[in-house]
Amino acid sequence: MTQYIADEAHFKEVIARVPKVKRSLWIGTADIKDLYVEERPFLGLLADLIKKGKEVRLIHTKEPGPNFREDFCTLLLCCVALHGQALTLVGIGPA
């Protein structure tokens, strides 16, 4: 099922579910920001998942701001930005 999520619904429908991840979490975004959840860095939630053996993939294109980078370096290991594009074609016939 595909669901459109906008504005305040992001917290309820997406961010609040992060601690419940069972196997892996992939986050793809153009611009990753320094997000806090209940006065705690969102990266702290990701670090907890990693400590529990969960897979976390963070794919972003723009270099994060200094606050995010500081939290990232404190809570996780390293940051690799994606400098490329991806194109997914579904239901395309032969050329």
**What's the pLDDT tens digit per position in 12-41?**
778 888 888 899 888 877 777 777 888 888
The total number of structural domains in the chain stands at: 1
Evaluate whether residue 42 is within a structural domain.
yes
Contact 82, 61 (CB under 8 A): yes
SS3 26: strand
Evaluate whether residue 5 is within a structural domain.
no
Evaluate whether residue 67 is within a structural domain.
yes
Evaluate whether residue 95 is within a structural domain.
no
Q: Predicted confidence band at 52 (pLDDT cuts at 50, 70, 90)?
A: very high
Evaluate whether residue 40 is within a structural domain.
yes
Q: By C-alpha distance, which of 94, 58, 92 is closest to 75?
A: 58
The token pair that represents 46 in the structure block: 């990701």
Evaluate whether residue 7 is within a structural domain.
no
**β-pairing verdict for 55-60 and 36-37:** unpaired
Backbone angles phi, psi at 94, to 5 degrees: -60, 150
Q: Which domain holds residue 70?
A: 24-83
Evaluate if pTM is beyond 0.85: no
